[in-house]
Amino acid sequence: MIDLFVLSLSYSISIIQAHLTQRIFVWKSKGKYVPELLRFSAAYIAQYFANIILLTWTGNISDFSREARQGAIIVLLTLIMFIINKRGVFRVGE
């Protein structure tokens, strides 16, 4: 249960911080702020649930530690989120 609480808290804080810093420093977006923040939030909330599902599922099928499983999941989800952010949230290249 503590894992769920920590994960929820960290996602809530990181969504706002990550959107602002990616908007300014990575994607240099000039799009409308609120619609972009809503798309970003939706993508990261979906990532949150994917993280929970994958962490639980991998715990049921493997003997790796929670930390090792979470590390692998972070790498996978980071790659997926890069593509989603580039093409869907910040719409780079339009």
pLDDT reported for residue 58: 96
pTM of the shown model:
0.77
**What is the CB neighbour count within 10 angstroms for residue 35?**
10
pLDDT tens per residue, range 60-87: 999 999 999 999 999 999 999 999 999 9
- Cβ distance 68 to 55 under 8 Å? no
pLDDT tens per residue, range 23-73: 999 999 888 989 999 999 999 999 989 999 999 999 999 999 999 999 999
Q: Is the pLDDT of residue 94 over 70?
A: no
